[in-house]
Structure 1
Amino acid sequence: MSKAIKNQKAILNKFGIEQLNPMQEEAQLAIHSSSEVVLLSPTGTGKTLAFLLPVIAELDTDCSEVQVLIIAPSRELVIQIEQVTRNMGTGFKINSAYGGQSFSKDKINLKHRPAILIGTPGRIADHFRRNTFSKEKIKTLVLDEFDKSLEIGFESEMNEIVSALNHLKKKILTSATQEVAIPRFVGLTNPIEVNYLSEGSSQLKIKIIISPLKDKLEILVATLKHIGNQPGIIFCNFKNTIQRVSNFLTENNIAHGCFYGGLEQQERERTLIKFRNGTHQLIIATDLAARGIDIPEIKFIIHYQLPMREHEFIHRNGRTARVNNEGTAFVLKWEGENLPD
């Protein structure tokens, strides 16, 4: 690993970044100086780079085992973090592990141990049970979007993972909301909190569009025609709603892709590829897409259905107006609906 690149300036040059923002600088200082850090900052402000830079700087170039474990709540977010880490071009081996990817492929990837392993709670817990790799050299644990990964649905796996890591020296937790209490099993004693949630520097505009009817299909198409040919995401709460909206857009000759949990992983990845390369400018999605899709060019999002939980409203809006770019969140509502606070 003698060719590993840990120079921050060289890494930032690869992203065309001249200087870190204040949140990233403060986070970097906190991670270098403390064993426990909770990083709270709005979506799109660069949290991934904020924790990756100091974590990579502290990697041991002579170690041939997994040193850093990053847990994220969805496959899409795992893939996104992996892409950012690879784009840093450090020379360290990086791998991901998540459901929907064959276990045999994981074993091949992990035969030669990565310095950084990124995965979902269920798949990482499975590897721990099978002793696929040594846990002794894992010194850093990152829980990205911990408000999701520490929810009740993941609690058992997360408890299992944290309990098995007996040689940790650093724990880093990140989130774009402050909605979820950190469970006791995470083992935080006196964390440094880097909190930029109230900075209010977002370039996001929120526009409310009143629909005279509960059925908002006509107002949706009118809104899309008003916006024009720009990349955006339409958010729905349910798969059957996505299918209904998709059929109506098809009838109106509006090209789009669909993205929800019931799709095969390959279909979801194909949708994102077509979106990124401009084959279609629209994705209709559930809240699954509200985390992990980092495409700076997204100009708008539309809340076709209002989210069922307030913090999902924040995560949806965070898909646009990322890293000082402008963006608009359109809220389609009829008179009988209440907006999130």
Structure 2
Amino acid sequence: MANNIKNQQEILAKLNIHVLNPMQEEAVSVIETSKNTILLSPTGTGKTLAFLLPLMETLDPHLEEIQALILVPSRELAIQIEQVVRSMGSGYKVNAVYGGRPMSKDKIELKHNPAILIGTPGRILDHFMSDRFSRNHIKTLILDEYDKSLENGFEEEMKGIINELPSLNKRILTSATQGVSIPKFVQLDKPKVINYLTEKASAKLTLQTVVAPDKSKLNTLLELLQYIGNEPGIIFCNLKDSISFVSSFLERHNVNHACFSGGMEQKDRERALIKFRNGTCQILVATDLAARGIDIPEMKYIIHYELPIHEEEFTHRNGRTARVNAKGTAYLIKWEKESLPEFIKGSKKVDISKKAPQKAQFWETLFISGGRKDKISKGDIAGLFFKQGGLNKDQLGVIELKQDCTFVAVPLSIANELVDKLNNTRLKKKKVRISVL
């Protein structure tokens, strides 16, 4: 049974959101009154909250069964949505399951049914086939970034899952891509379509071309970063090998950064995002995996180190900046003998000879071996660093609380000192290890 159920206004107050954006307002209204909805909106416009708010209204607090299923194409998106649901403090239990983590963890967490289950299609179907919980009470199905799930080859798994849901009466599909066909097995009958993809972000997005004299473009990339200064941004590459190439170059030039690609271990990808979110790393070198479906902060720029091959990739990469009401710049690094793809229009050459002031890295990330399952809260973590660590409020950065561990941003200058002081401290009766990530 759910506890302390909050209504929409209470949830928004907890999230410190005073007004929904127009897309969210329309989506909430349509989803509440429609059986089938397709929500099309650019990356970073708040689609997750737009479907979660009306979803909460459909849940029965007295029913101890899974009532809503959210299918996502990636582990990162599953984790992100789970975090959003938890931050809402709705009173409903939520769990995310996905490939790449031990099945034993899933079994422990699913001993008590969540009201909302989030997962990648393969892992969800595994649970279905093992009959780990009843599907009879799942009335709402959300296919978030459904086109990406189809693109990733999950069609058969999705079909198998939907065929196992006898009580569905509401379907919500979301995407940041226009014109993707919906398979018949989704059984989407006369859906209401909310389309905000037609509202171009071009007025807020500036395209600038940087011409590189050599084919590797690395020195030009470094000059561009020096021109931009210490601002968070993403350097997009087409290939995993390119990321290694760029990363090695940046390391040689002492440019602090993190990497993010499908070739990395799940744990390493998560930690790269944590360090990027909390400011330990200002730069993320990434493949198109980072173009959508991950929770990263607003940024003023992205860099196309390698030019995108398809227009869709170009659109999604650019969607990481100039989000909602903000302005942003997409830089295209072009070898002087290279031509821009036909779909890239309106980009102007920029002179990057002027250097912006460079600031030294301020934050470092600490790992703590205790999390939610140990009944540890963010308040407990803050108390530890304030009381025993001697920090003031300005010295405590972002705290990310996970199921079995926590990550905390602290000033780089005192990170090792804090480890020496706080390692093996007791938090909620648990002795926790603390180390620099």
Q: TM-score range by the shorter chain?
A: over 0.9
Deviations 1:292-321, CA, capped at 9 Å, x for gaps: 223234222111112233212222112223
Structure 2 counterpart of 1:149: 149
- Please, which runs of 5 or more residues in structure 1 have no aligned partner? none
* Alignment-mate amino acid for residue 336 of structure 1: E
Matched, 1:25 2:54: no
Moved more, 5-14 or 130-139: 5-14
8 Å contact from structure 1 (residues 36, 191) kept in 2: yes
**Separation in 2, partners of 1:310, 1:17:** 33
Aligned to 1:233: 234
- Structure 2 length as normaliser, TM-score? 0.75
- Output one character per residue of 1:191-227: Cα deviation in whole Å (capped at 9) or x when no partner: 0000111123563322222223322111111111100
Task: Name 1:186's counterpart in structure 2.
Answer: 186
Q: Is the partner of 1:76 in helix, strand or coil?
A: helix
Cα distance in 2 between the residues matched to 1:78 and 1:325: 26
Cα 1:206/1:13, change in 2 over 3 Å:
farther
- On the 8 A contact 1:296/1:322 being kept in 2, the answer is no
Matched residue SS, 2:330: strand
Q: 1:340 to 1:163 in 2, by over 3 A?
A: farther
Asked if the contact 1:179–1:311 (Cα under 8 Å) also holds between the matched residues in 2, the reply is no
What do the CA deviations read for 1:233-273 (whole angstroms, capped 9, x no partner)?
11111111100000111111101111111211111111111
Aligned-pair distance for 1:2? Answer: 5.8
**For 1:271-298, what per-residue CA distance to the aligned partner results, in whole angstroms no more than 9, with x for missing partners?**
1111122111111111111122232342
Residues 143 and 195 (structure 1 numbering): CA distance in 2 closer, same or farther, change over 3 Å? Answer: same
Output the amino acid matched with 1:204: L
Alignment of 1:72-111 (within 5 A): 72-111=72-111
Contact 1:301/1:330 (8 A) holds in 2: yes
Alignment correspondent of 1:324: 325
SS of 1:10's partner is helix
1:214-253 to 2 correspondence within 5 Å?
A: 214-253=215-254
Summarize the Cα distance change of 1:340–1:277 in structure 2 as closer, same or farther, 3 Å threshold: farther
- Look up the SS of the partner of 1:284 in the other structure: strand
Judge conservation of contact 1:313–1:340 (CA < 8 Å) in 2: no
Which residue of structure 2 lines up, in the alignment, with residue 263 of structure 1? 264
Maintained 8 Å contact 1:206/1:329: yes
Counterpart for residue 375 of structure 2? none
Separation in structure 1 between the aligned mates of residue 294 and residue 190 of structure 2, nearest angstrom: 32
Q: Which moved more, 1:59-68 or 1:301-310?
A: 301-310
Any idea what SS the aligned residue of 2:173 has?
A: strand
Task: Tell me the CA shift for residue 340 of structure 1.
Answer: 5.7
Post-superposition CA distance 1:66-98 (Å, at most 9, x none): 111111111111111111111101110010001
Determine if contact 2:201/2:322 at 8 Å carries over to the other structure.
no
Rounded to whole Å, the distance in 1 between the matches of 2:253 and 2:41 is 39
Cα RMSD, aligned residues only = 1.5
Residues 13 and 252 from structure 1, CA distance in 2 versus in 1: closer, same or farther, beyond 3 angstroms? Answer: same
Cα distance in 2 between the residues matched to 1:123 and 1:314: 29
d(CA) in 2 for partners of 1:60, 1:306: 49
Secondary structure at the aligned position of 1:111 is classed as coil
Distance in 2 (alpha carbons) for counterparts of 1:12 and 1:328: 30
Partner of 2:395: none
Distance 1:151 1:278 in 2: 32
Partner of residue 339, structure 1: 341
User: Which residue of structure 2 lines up, in the alignment, with residue 130 of structure 1?
Assistant: 130
Cα deviation, 1:98-119, whole Å, max 9, x if unaligned, reads: 1111101001111100001111
Are the structure 2 counterparts of residues 12 and 204 from structure 1 closer, same or farther at C-alpha, using a change threshold of 3 Å?
farther
The letter of the residue matching 1:226 is: Y
Rg comparison, structure with higher value: 2
Tell me which moved more, 267-276 or 196-205.
196-205
> Using the alignment, how far apart are the partners of 2:332 and 2:273 within structure 1?
23
Counterparts of 2:8 and 2:146, CA distance in 1: 26
Question: In structure 2, do the counterparts of structure 1 residues 201 and 236 end up closer, same or farther at CA, with 3 Å as the change threshold?
Answer: closer
How far apart are the structure 2 equivalents of 1:118 and 1:129?
Answer: 17
3-state secondary structure, aligned to 1:44: coil
Q: What displacement does 1:166 show? A: 1.4
Unaligned runs of 5+ in 2: 344-437
- Cα distance in 2 between the residues matched to 1:159 and 1:340: 37
TM-score by length of 1: 0.96
**Alignment identity in percent?**
60
Query: How many angstroms apart in 1 are the aligned matches of 2:329 and 2:184?
Result: 38
Q: Select between 62-71 and 270-279 the one with higher mean Cα deviation.
A: 270-279
Q: Is the 8 A contact 1:303 1:329 kept in 2?
A: yes
Q: Is the 8 A contact 1:237 1:286 kept in 2?
A: yes
Aligned equivalent of 1:52: 52
